[in-house]
Structure 1
Amino acid sequence: MSLFEIAFSGEVVTGADEAQVRANLARLFQADEKRIAQLFSGRRVIIKNRLDAAAAEKYRAALTNAGARVEVAPMPIVEEIDLAPPPAAAEKPSTDASPVEKRVSVAPRDEVMAAFMNVDAPDFGLAPVGADLQDQKAEVAAPKVDLSQLTLAPVGSDIGEEKPEAPAQVPDTSHLKLV
């Protein structure tokens, strides 16, 4: 069964007065002027979705009679995907180098928690009060840089030398005459 959606982009049918169409839609949707202004913003607004063909045609006819130009489009098909169940503990490859994790089993205290009864989660545990939770950072050794070729300027001296300004070049105007 195909499902349809009704979309409106703020366009009116040919020969219709926009103010009259706004009033018709306000009466049809029982909406205030603010909501009607949102419909006429120029953006494509989905008015109704998940309609069968007969209901979509009924909406289209009612909105066209009100003076609104609407688009009836089939809804995009959303494919449902079944997720694979999580691998069982027996299927997990075991390596000697990996640490063994403790697992938590939760006893449900009410209906909501009963949904989490068969959750396989690692036991992170709780740290004792006052324990530092951040791992210690390794000390970083300062890089060894050879600075023997560098020297320091004496105290009070300028680090950079000022470059003398180049004298301005005066153009030769001897060949020009005033007429």
Structure 2
Amino acid sequence: MSRYEIAFSGELAPGATLEQVEINLTRLFQADAQRIALLFSGRRVVIKQGLDFAGVEKYREAMARAGAIAEVRAMPVEVEEIELTAPPAQPAVQAKKDSDASPPPLKVAPRDEYMAAFTDVEAPDFGIAPVGSDLQDARAAAPAPALDLSQFSLAPVGSDMSERRRASDVPPPDTSHLKLLD
């Protein structure tokens, strides 16, 4: 099934004003002004990817109604092909001796230049642990830090532990004797 992405490069529909399109896109995407400004930065911004054709058409039509011209592209389908080489032929006597040993590593043909760098890497064949086994190595408990707390003391029971009053925390002046005249 083909997948598509929809992107926007700041292109406006004929007759649309920048201010009106920004307002419409703000409403459409329910985004703040900063995100909408990124859409009009001049760069190609991918709005959504991995959509089917019907989904990408909904986005394109909604943006067209808002006055913005969206770009729709098919996403490339990545298919990785791996060719396994046949295991080397072993004499019957050698195969009997090696039956207790682990199987030989697989040879994989590189798919491109990047993977060609990993052709000579030998890695052990790790198996799968049984269900319920602990995969984390056991750690020794961390020793408690040595702290000198001798300069601290406890407040007496019932004391006020709030912040110390500041000079600016004086009560407001009494204004009950003031009156407003019409």
Task: Give the TM-score, by structure 2 length.
Answer: 0.47
Which is greater in Rg? 1
